[in-house]
Amino acid sequence: MAIFLIVICVFLLCQFIFTIWNVKQFPTLEPVSSPSSDENIPLSILIPARNEEKRIEACLQSIVNQRVLPKELIVLDDHSTDQTRAIVERYAKTYPWIYVKSGKTLPQGWLGKSYACFQLAEEASSNWLLFLDADVRLKTGAVEAVYKQLCIQKTGMLSGFPEQKTGTFLEHLVVPMMMFTIGCHLPVKWVSTSNNPHFAAAHGGFIAIEKDCYLAVGGHEAIKDSLVDDMALARRVKQMGYPFTLASIHPFVYMRMYENGQEVWEGYRKNIFPGVNRNIALLSGVFCLYTILYLAPVICLLIALVQVDFTNICLAILCYGLGVSIKATIDIENGRTSAMAFLLPLSILTLIAIGIASIKIGLKKEGYVWKGRRYE
């Protein structure tokens, strides 16, 4: 057992060193101390909304509270059956640059969000398109900070992971694991410097893309049947040789993706297996690696405690501590508390359980259910 734990320690130490370096490679949005103009900037903020009455108002309010306003904000009401449209129309009466459009009937072969974004892009009149989810909130100075980076980049795509607000226990356990996976395994520096589409990550809640680039890569029409549309769009941008930036945006943007455990389970179940292109070998390999690195030391610790094996107790605790340190580093870098890092083994177990459920649905072709729609 001691040799096994020593090997894990070495791997985790290397992972820890890589993670510390990797999370520092994210480009950061720079704040603008004093906006240079009172005019609306040439940016179209586009929000697909389907039954978002609980979220859309806070999103809109965070935008109208900005010091610098976008040229236009367009919300696509995607056949909502609640008060989503009425809320947006109320804002549109006060702010003439806010518009609400009715979504068309979903055509055969399209997924709902991609078709909504496609319609929004057709309506937009600015050079830069910023797709936001209804649960995204912009902090003060976000619009000018984003636009400053877009002007430097000139074309291509920019995305980033908002600060994740969590409330329920399952949210605390699972939602931060998205950034844990990226921080541990995706060489962030290569996201911007390599055209290899494998080095890509994006968050569908925050995607800025230059309109000519969007049209050149085929927009959402080219990825109309992709469940993980954000990753698919990012890969197309990189394949076509356009600049792509995965930035640290959490100082300016935050969101609460899910509001209860059921939403966490269904949301991640929908994304995990399709997110690796339904590659069972890859996902199984990741889960095996996580089991060895983060779960096995806990099991070894329990065995060592029963056997009163002081050496193995110390080695197991060291492995556990390194795993916690990796998780804490990533959490802190993304504006979160490090307290939940101590529950990393439980987070790993939960993630694996959701992943298995995702694989099961994918293989049986039962279809993933999200917001009243079924996706194959």
**pLDDT tens digits, residue range 236-288?**
999 999 999 999 999 999 999 888 889 899 889 888 888 777 889 989 999 99
Q: How far apart are the first and last CA of the chain?
A: 44
Is 118 domain-assigned? yes
**pTM (predicted TM-score):** 0.90
Answer whether residue 218 is part of any domain. Answer: yes
- Residues 325 and 238 grouped into a single domain: no
53 and 17 assigned to the same domain: no
Residue that wins the pLDDT comparison between 333 and 38: 333
CATH number at residue 160: 3.90.550.10
286 and 257 in a single domain? The answer is: no
Asked if residue 6 is part of any domain, the answer here is yes
- For residues 256 and 135, is the Cβ–Cβ distance under 8 A? yes
187 and 280 part of one domain:
no
Is the residue at 222 inside a domain?
Answer: yes
Is 323 in the same domain as 342? yes
Do 226 and 315 fall within a single domain?
Answer: no
Task: Answer for the pair 100, 45: CB distance below 8 angstroms, yes or no.
Answer: no
**In which residue are the tokens 């979220």 written?**
55
Is 133 in the same domain as 243?
Answer: yes
Residue 376 has pLDDT above 70, yes or no: no
* Residues 295, 244 within the same domain: no
DSSP 28: B
Which among 208, 243, 274 is the end of a domain? 274
Q: Which of 349, 135, 156, 117 is nearest to 246 (CA)?
A: 156
Where does a domain end: 226, 253, 274?
Answer: 274
Q: What is the pLDDT of residue 193?
A: 85
- Identify the domain boundary among 227, 254, 274: 274
Tell me, yes or no, whether 177 and 234 share the same domain: yes
User: Is position 36 within any domain?
Assistant: no
Q: Tell me: do 137 and 285 sit in the same domain.
A: no
Q: Are residues 270 and 286 in the same domain?
A: no
Confidence of residue 37 (pLDDT cuts 50, 70, 90): low
372 pLDDT above the threshold of 80: no
d(CA 95, CA 74): 12
What is the predicted pLDDT for the residue at 221?
95
| pLDDT tens string 183-206 | 999 999 898 888 888 888 899 999
Look up the domain containing 18 and give its range: 2-23+275-375
Q: Is 375 exposed, middle or buried (0-12, 13-18, 19+ CB in 10 A)?
A: middle
Number of structural domains in the chain: 2
- With CA atoms as reference, report the closest residue to 180 among 316, 325, 321, 359: 325
Residue 93 lies in a domain: yes
Q: Tens digit of pLDDT for each residue in 90-138?
A: 999 999 999 999 999 999 989 889 999 999 999 999 999 999 999 999 9
Residue 146 in domain: yes
Looking at the predicted structure, is the pLDDT value of residue 369 above 70? no
Is the residue at 29 inside a domain? no
What is the predicted pLDDT for the residue at 207? 97
CA–CA gap between residue 244 and residue 164 (Å, rounded): 22
Q: Examine the domain organization and report whether 149 and 202 are in the same domain.
A: yes
Residue 34: per-residue pLDDT: 66
**Beta carbons of 157 and 208 less than 8 angstroms apart:** yes
DSSP 47: E
Q: Is the pLDDT of residue 290 over 60?
A: yes
Dist. CA 202–CA 156, nearest whole Å? 13
Q: What is the pLDDT of residue 259?
A: 87
Structure tokens at 333: 């870098």
Question: H or E stretch including 160?
Answer: strand 157-160
Comparing 37 with 1, which gets the higher pLDDT?
Answer: 1
Cβ-contact 182, 250 below 8 angstroms = no
| Cα–Cα distance, 362 to 108 (Å, whole number) | 20
